[in-house]
A and B are shown apart, each in its own frame.
Chain A
Amino acid sequence: ETGVTQTPRHLVMGMTNKKSLKCEQHLGHNAMYWYKQSAKKPLELMFVYSLEERVENNSVPSRFSPECPNSSHLFLHLHTLQPEDSALYLCASSQVLSYNSPLHFGNGTRLTVT
């Protein structure tokens, strides 16, 4: 148990589907992150929410839409994805403005787009 829970663990979707990834943190943190990890590539930062406000959007295509309704929950809404979007999507949380607060990661959602 990492303190950051992601559901589902695995997801297969067609290019015309709409689905959502969910992340929940039980650590009392106030910042949350989405990362994407494609095969044989480094983790890529997608979005950062700090104090429930989006502070980073790393040129991510609009077919990925994040939502942070409160400091404990983070969603990634997916629509009209492409096969190259197949990857491991990782959520993380931290305590902002704290130099001793590392990022804590969930175990990810393995997404396959067919």
Chain B
Amino acid sequence: DAKTTQPTSMDCAEGRAANLPCNHSTISGNEYVYWYRQIHSQGPQYIIHGLKNNETNEMASLIITEDRKSSTLILPHATLRDTAVYYCIVRVDEDSSYKLIFGSGTRLLVRP
């Protein structure tokens, strides 16, 4: 089962920041939080990941609370092309591999 909970859907206006929340209250100390998005009929696209510290890259910022029980993905200036399903995932490490267990994600609609 997925170890995260996300709102089913959200919307925001084009050009504004989109803040997507995620709860992962059972996360373990060495488990990473990953964010992916999926545009219709394409494979999931990696966005960002983090462990404890906030992270930023060219696509987004990831804010992780100090207790690590929740995080927020921030798209600073949303565009229409950011309309997609966004998945927050806790990475599960095995002995010789790792896996990502996807939940239902948040459907983000960016309005013109």
A49 vs B94: C-alpha distance when bound (angstroms)? 12
Number of interface residues of A (CB under 8 A): 29
Name the residue of chain A whose CB is nearest to the CB of B46.
A102
- The main secondary structure of chain B at its interface with chain A is loop
- The main secondary structure of chain A at its interface with chain B is strand
A97 vs B96: C-alpha distance when bound (angstroms)? 7
Tell me whether A110 is interfacial, beta carbon within 8 Å. yes
A50 vs B95: C-alpha distance when bound (angstroms)? 10
A11 vs B34: C-alpha distance when bound (angstroms)? 31
Tell me whether A12 is interfacial, beta carbon within 8 Å. no
Tell me whether B103 is interfacial, beta carbon within 8 Å. yes
Extra contacts, 4 of them, besides A50-B97, A88-B41, A99-B51 (Cβ < 8 A), are A42-B2, A56-B94, A105-B44, A105-B45
Which B residues have a C-beta under 8 Å from some C-beta of A?
2, 32, 34, 41-46, 49, 51, 94-105
